[in-house]
Amino acid sequence: MWQQQTLQHSPQAREALEANLRGEQSPFDVSLTGLKIGVHNWSHGLETKSGRYLSPENANKAFIAKMTDYADPNRPSGELDVVVIMVTAANIEQFIAQMENVMILLPEPAFKQAYDYAKAHQKLAETKMVKTPQIASPAFGQENDITPQSGRDLQGIMRGSLVANVASGDPFAVIDELIQQKARRQAENKQKIERILHTSAQVYAFQDRGVLDVIALNLQKNVPSANNVFTATVCFIGKDLSNLRGMLNGNRS
């Protein structure tokens, strides 16, 4: 079932980073394995005289079509973990504002493309809803590393900090360099980390576990309002997406 949630890196991410900067090995891992597909107005909305429009319901139809596409050789099977993150709004200004924070946390190609198109069409007037066209995409690819870019950044900086600590023999000197901005790259990394860890975004999220046929049915429950005609959404599919689930406030104890 769809729920409105706050998307944000967990407190465990901050604790792990601080420990890492002290030279302590951290067990924290944000990597994900699986596949992902994305849709947005400018990939799945029919063009009108004033722009392209896509409701959450029609965005869902694109995912449902792929989840039940048995002819696709890359269609995942068996017990699966599915998380869908959706940004949707009734007007383009609100959509752009929401997308700005989402892209810091999940800079997915579908989100970035939707944001760029929305900015280019910001002055277009809102018009009536259009039906999602019958198209072949999105398509499943091979199972791969689907770790969000923000997670990759965190892990890369953690690895770099550990190497620096070992090389210097003094982890406190590395922290001091970060604070004093003696090393430009480390200072930039710290700024990037602070931005990632302190950013939050309001999104709609769908979470389920099971076979795709059943998940496709559940995807239609409590769908966000059809009045929201600007929509961008990414569907993550894997065996274990607990790291992504941990970014949603409703999953934290």
The residue among 85, 99, 73, 101 whose CA lies nearest residue 32 is 85
Residues of the chain with pLDDT under 50: 125-136
Indicate whether 185 belongs to any domain: no
Indicate whether 198 belongs to any domain: no
Indicate whether 250 belongs to any domain: no
Indicate whether 104 belongs to any domain: yes
User: What's the residue count for the chain?
Assistant: 253
Indicate whether 204 belongs to any domain: no
d(CA 151, CA 149) in angstroms, rounded, equals 5
What's the pLDDT tens digit per position in 113-159? 999 999 888 755 444 444 444 444 566 777 777 777 777 777 777 66
User: DSSP state, 158?
Assistant: H
Indicate whether 210 belongs to any domain: no
Domain tally for the chain?
Answer: 1
**Residue 128, pLDDT score:** 41
**Which CB contacts under 8 angstroms, 24+ apart, belong to 185-193?**
186/161, 189/157, 189/160, 189/161, 192/153, 192/157, 193/17, 193/153, 193/154, 193/157
**Residue 126, pLDDT score:** 44
**Residue 3, pLDDT score:** 95
Indicate whether 30 belongs to any domain: no
**Residue 30, pLDDT score:** 78
Domain that holds residue 41: 37-128
Reduced to 3 states (helix: H, G, I; strand: E, B; else coil), residue 3 is strand
d(CA 44, CA 64) in angstroms, rounded, equals 13
Indicate whether 224 belongs to any domain: no
**Residue 140, pLDDT score:** 72
Those residues whose C-beta lies under 8 Å from the C-beta of residue 247, and which sit 6 or more positions away, are 7, 8, 9, 10, 105
